[in-house]
Structure 1
Amino acid sequence: MAQISPYNDSMRLGMGFNSFTQRLCNYAVRPVGAGFEAHPDPPQYKTSAVPHSGNISNGYEVMWTAKFVNTMSEVAQSLNISGAPQIRCDFAPPGGAKTSASFNDTNTFAESDINYLIQVRVSHQRFNHTEFEFIPNLHQSEFTRLYGDSFISGFVEGGEFNALISVKLRDRSDADQVKQQLEAGIGFTATARDLDQSQSAPIDGEITIAVSWKCGGDILDGGMTEWTLNSLKAIVMEFPRKATTCPMRINALLTKYTSLKGFREKDIQGALNYENTGLYTAALLDAYLDYKCICRSIQQISRKVEQGEFALVAKEEMVELAELFTEAKEMPNGLSPYKGSIYGLVKARKDCRIEMLKIIREVDTVEEQPQVACDLTRPQQYLDPAMFRMLLPTTQDLKKARAAAAQEQLSCADLTRKLEISERERTAAEISALGLANELK
Structure 2
Amino acid sequence: MSTLLLAPFNDSMRLGQGYNSFLQTPCLGNAVDISNAKYVESDDEKAPSQTVSYSARFVEKMSDIVHAMNISAGSSIRTGSVSVSGGGNNIDEIKFAESDLNAVISVKVVNQTRNLRDNISFNHIKNMDSARFHDIYGDTFISGFIEGGDLHGIISIRTIDATRKSEVKNKLRSQFNGANTEWAPSSSAVISEALRQAEVTVTVNWSGGGIIKPSDEEWTIESLIRASSAFADNVAKCPQRTWAILTRYDTVEGFVNWAYDLSPKVTVRRYEGVQRYTSDLLDMYIEYKGNLLILNDAIRHTDRYEASKDPRAVGMSIDSLIEARKHLRAEMNKIVGNIEILDKDPEKIHTLLGQNDITAPELWRVKLPFRKDPTGEAATKSVFESLLEGLPIQAELSKSLPPSAEKYPPLCDSYESLGQIEKSALADLTRERPEINKHFHLSRPIGSNGKGTYFNNVDFLKPSVYITAVKASTFRGCLNYLGIFYSNGLTVSHGCLRGQHDVFELELSPEEGEKIIAAVVETGEEQGVEDAEPRITKLALYTNRANKLVAEPPVKPKTETADKRTFSPVESISHEPVEGGSLVKGFWGFSQNGRVGLEDDGIWRLGVVWGNPPKA
Query: Which TM-score band (shorter chain)?
Result: 0.7 to 0.9
In 2, Cα distance between equivalents of 1:291 and 1:229: 28
- Bigger relative CO (Cα 8 Å, ≥ 6 apart): 1
| Alignment pair present for 1:107 and 2:94 | yes
Deviation at 1:108, TM superposition (A): 0.8
Deviation at 1:377, TM superposition (A): 5.7
Deviation at 1:309, TM superposition (A): 3.8
**Relative to 1, partners in 2 of residues 1:257 and 1:197: Cα closer, same or farther, differing over 3 Å?**
same
In 2, Cα distance between equivalents of 1:145 and 1:60: 38
Cα pair 1:89 1:99 within 8 Å, conserved: no
Provide the residue aligned with 2:460 in structure 1: none
How much identity, in percent, do the aligned residues show? 31
Deviation at 1:34, TM superposition (A): 6.4
Q: Point out the structure with the larger strand share.
A: 2
Letter in 2 for 1:133: S
Letter in 1 for 2:361: P
**Relative to 1, partners in 2 of residues 1:313 and 1:176: Cα closer, same or farther, differing over 3 Å?**
closer
Provide the residue aligned with 1:289 in structure 2: 286
Cα pair 2:102 2:156 within 8 Å, conserved: yes
Provide the residue aligned with 2:306 in structure 1: 311
**Relative to 1, partners in 2 of residues 1:147 and 1:300: Cα closer, same or farther, differing over 3 Å?**
same
Deviation at 1:196, TM superposition (A): 6.9
> Any runs of at least 4 consecutive aligned residues in structure 1 with deviations exceeding 6 A, and if so which?
398-404
In 2, Cα distance between equivalents of 1:217 and 1:303: 43
Q: Point out the structure with the larger helix share.
A: 1
| Alignment pair present for 1:346 and 2:325 | no
Provide the residue aligned with 1:232 in structure 2: 224
Provide the residue aligned with 2:104 in structure 1: 117
In 2, Cα distance between equivalents of 1:3 and 1:398: 48
Letter in 2 for 1:282: S
RMSD of aligned alpha carbons = 3.0
Letter in 2 for 1:252: A
In 1, Cα distance between equivalents of 2:374 and 2:8: 49
Letter in 1 for 2:97: A
Q: 1:301 aligns with which of 278, 291, 298?
A: 298
In 2, Cα distance between equivalents of 1:183 and 1:259: 44
Provide the residue aligned with 1:134 in structure 2: 122
In 2, Cα distance between equivalents of 1:14 and 1:283: 32
Structure whose CA Rg is larger: 1
Q: Deviations over 1:130-189 (max 9, x none)?
A: 541223455523111110101111100011111111110012222222112112224436
Deviation at 1:375, TM superposition (A): 4.2
In 1, Cα distance between equivalents of 2:36 and 2:376: 79
In 1, Cα distance between equivalents of 2:254 and 2:116: 20
Q: 1:166 aligns with which of 136, 140, 156?
A: 156
Q: 2:268 aligns with which of 268, 271, 280?
A: 271
Taking structure 1 as the reference length, the TM-score comes to: 0.73
Provide the residue aligned with 1:258 in structure 2: 250
**Relative to 1, partners in 2 of residues 1:401 and 1:165: Cα closer, same or farther, differing over 3 Å?**
closer
Deviation at 1:365, TM superposition (A): 0.8
| Alignment pair present for 1:31 and 2:34 | yes
In 2, Cα distance between equivalents of 1:219 and 1:395: 41
**Relative to 1, partners in 2 of residues 1:158 and 1:178: Cα closer, same or farther, differing over 3 Å?**
same
Provide the residue aligned with 2:205 in structure 1: 212
Cα pair 1:85 1:99 within 8 Å, conserved: no
**Relative to 1, partners in 2 of residues 1:64 and 1:255: Cα closer, same or farther, differing over 3 Å?**
same
In 2, Cα distance between equivalents of 1:287 and 1:358: 11
Provide the residue aligned with 2:441 in structure 1: none
Letter in 2 for 1:166: S
Letter in 2 for 1:112: S
Letter in 1 for 2:93: T
What are the ranges of 5 or more consecutive residues in structure 1 without an aligned counterpart?
36-56, 92-96, 318-336, 405-441
Cα pair 2:250 2:268 within 8 Å, conserved: no
Letter in 1 for 2:207: K
Cα pair 1:149 1:257 within 8 Å, conserved: yes
Letter in 2 for 1:300: D
In 1, Cα distance between equivalents of 2:314 and 2:275: 34
In 1, Cα distance between equivalents of 2:354 and 2:100: 34
**Relative to 1, partners in 2 of residues 1:304 and 1:241: Cα closer, same or farther, differing over 3 Å?**
same
Letter in 2 for 1:346: I
Secondary structure, counterpart of 1:20 in structure 2: coil
Secondary structure, counterpart of 1:201 in structure 2: helix
**Relative to 1, partners in 2 of residues 1:29 and 1:302: Cα closer, same or farther, differing over 3 Å?**
same
In 2, Cα distance between equivalents of 1:385 and 1:85: 20
Deviation at 1:258, TM superposition (A): 1.6
What are the ranges of 5 or more consecutive residues in structure 2 without an aligned counterpart?
39-46, 380-616
Residues matched between the structures, number: 355
Deviation at 1:111, TM superposition (A): 0.9
Provide the residue aligned with 1:47 in structure 2: none
